[in-house]
Copies of this chain bind each other. A is one copy, B any other.
Amino acid sequence: MRLTRRRLSSASLLAAALLLTGLATAPRAPAAEADELAAIRKEVERQHDAAIRRLQAWIALPSIAAENLNVREGAEHMARLAREAGFQHVEIVETGGKPGVFARLDAGAPKTVGLYFMYDVKQFDPAEWSSPPLEARIVDRPGLGKVMIGRGAVNQKGPQSALLAALHAIRAAGRKPPVNLVLVAEGEEEIGSPHITRLVHRPEVLEALRGTIGVFMPSAMQDADGVATVSLGAKGVVELELVASGEKWGRGPTKDVHSSLRAMVDSPAWHLVKALDTLVADDGNTITIEGYPKPRPISAEEKAMVAAASARRSEARAKQQLGVQRWIDDLPWREANERLVSQPTVNIQGLVGGYTGPGGKTVLPHRAAAKLDLRLVPGMTREAAVAALREHLRKRGFGDIEINVTGGYDPTGTAADSALIRAQLDVLRKRGLDPVLWPRTAGSYPGFVFTDPPLRLPSGHFGLGHGGGAHAPDEYYVIESANPAVAGYDEAVMSFVEYLHALAK
């Protein structure tokens, strides 16, 4: 983490600011490159329908690690997509968990760029969707245009398919990609990437990645107004379950018994509630885990970035989209965003114990669980967070409560003046977009495996376009945009073509 922090220095922020204001080195855009891009654009448009069908076929095959669904099939499909897009070497690699895919595309270029993909998607309940989540139908959405609705539409199959469509179009235009590519795809992103290190640290993968100038994941970086955000990192995460049970506690029953016995038998569910209660203060937000790693205070540079971004983003729209009336502590918009980027969280994703169906059922449950996710910011590691939680519970008489960590990793950060980020700003500026620079995504991705030792590479997300509803019903990705400021599918594909060219420079 020390390295990462150093990268976020004021010098690098200054460099980014210069790029943003157009005072850095003037763009080189020879006529040859313009011709090449025009030829590729023609192919992107010609192949539009085929690319959409390719994306729809991908969405029709959901791989869900938490449910052990279509894991092998998902990896094989991912491998086939890579092969069809021109990767000469493609292999499915075992990780000890769900398999990964490792692929190389040698374009004979001087530079090599890493790609990080996920082939898995989040769980879904079709009953909650207005359009079947696996059919990836294209429907009209007022204000947005034609959007594809499906699980994985924006997280992450849509943007990843657009990157692959860029490679298809480049080849169809009789060109070669301007950079060589190394692809690492995992099938466990949605469960906290428990085996990403095993995948990336395989000798042949590590060796291939060492030769890259950085690693990026295709994404849809525009909001509904078209504002593009360049993020310089992401929080870390730990996903875990706290499980209280009669078996482990030595009190309460070892199976569900009639609730009338509650008058003489202890309750693991109440034991869990009492344990949970010690983790946050009465405000429900302030973490009270003893010895919990402390977040690094938000820096002046980060504050400046958040201030600039908050001024450009609509608080009213954010509140309306989330169904939120007020932020934590009734903070104003800018301070709420500062909290968002700089503070760790202890979130309850799910509570499950005893009878969870309709109405009641008079049982005294022998087991109750809280599914938590902990978001980590610079200054914190997954290991230290879990260790503190364990010791905290032990000290307070909750040592019997199981802490089942299912995934997670440290935070990640990349310097604003790295080649990866400079190329992003370059592409966006050429398109007349004024991007928002953002200290770190409040969500998480396992960028640490690229940014931390031994690789120490820049890592980020890139891609024009807009989507929403990740992890929620009616997840969507804009295909034909009603707003000229927001890229549709073909423009998203072109943004990848341009980004690869910018990275080649």
Contact = CB atoms under 8 A, between A and B. Distances in A.
A368 B284 CA distance: 14
Contacts of A371: 354-355, 360-361
Interface in A327-363: 327-328, 331, 336-337, 339-363
A264 B331 contact: yes
Nearest to A247: B323
Nearest to A345: B262
Nearest to A246: B323
A285 B274 CA distance: 11
A260 B444 contact: yes
Contacts of A322: 253, 255, 257, 261, 265
Contacts of A190: 361-362
Contacts of A359: 65-67, 191, 239, 406
A266 interface: yes
Interface stretch (A21-29, A82-90, A275-283, A409-417): A275-283
B355 A350 contact: yes
B253 A266 contact: no
Contact of A263 (B269, B276, B340, B368): B340
A251 interface: yes
Contacts of A186: none
Contact of A277 (B246, B267, B273): B273
Interface in A39-87: 65-67
A365 interface: yes
A350 B350 contact: no
Given A122-B361, A361-B66, A363-B471, A263 B442 contact: yes
Given A191-B359, A267-B284, A373 B259 contact: yes
A355 B360 contact: no
A490 interface: no
A470 interface: yes
A195 B434 CA distance: 65
Given A258-B472, A264-B340, A322-B257, A348 B235 contact: no
B274 A336 contact: no
A253 B360 contact: no
A296 interface: no
A403 to B, nearest CB: 13
A306 to B, nearest CB: 11
Nearest to A360: B239
A335 to B, nearest CB: 9
B323 A269 contact: no
B260 A326 contact: no
A252 interface: yes
Contacts of A65: 359
Interface in A209-265: 235, 237, 239-241, 246, 250-265
B267 A347 contact: yes
A337 B250 contact: no
A133 B46 CA distance: 60
Interface string A363-376: 11110100101010
Contact of A352 (B250, B251, B262, B351): B351
A363 to B, nearest CB: 6
Contacts of A267: 284-285, 347-348
Contact of A285 (B67, B266, B324, B442): B266
A341 B262 CA distance: 11
B442 A260 contact: yes
Nearest to A372: B360
Contact of A66 (B271, B339, B358): B358
Contact of A351 (B285, B323, B331, B351): B351
A362 B372 CA distance: 8
A441 interface: yes
The 5 closest A-B pairs by CB, nearest first: A66-B359, A254-B323, A260-B442, A270-B284, A260-B443
9 contacts: A66-B359, A123-B361, A266-B285, A267-B284, A270-B285, A350-B353, A350-B360, A350-B361, A362-B373
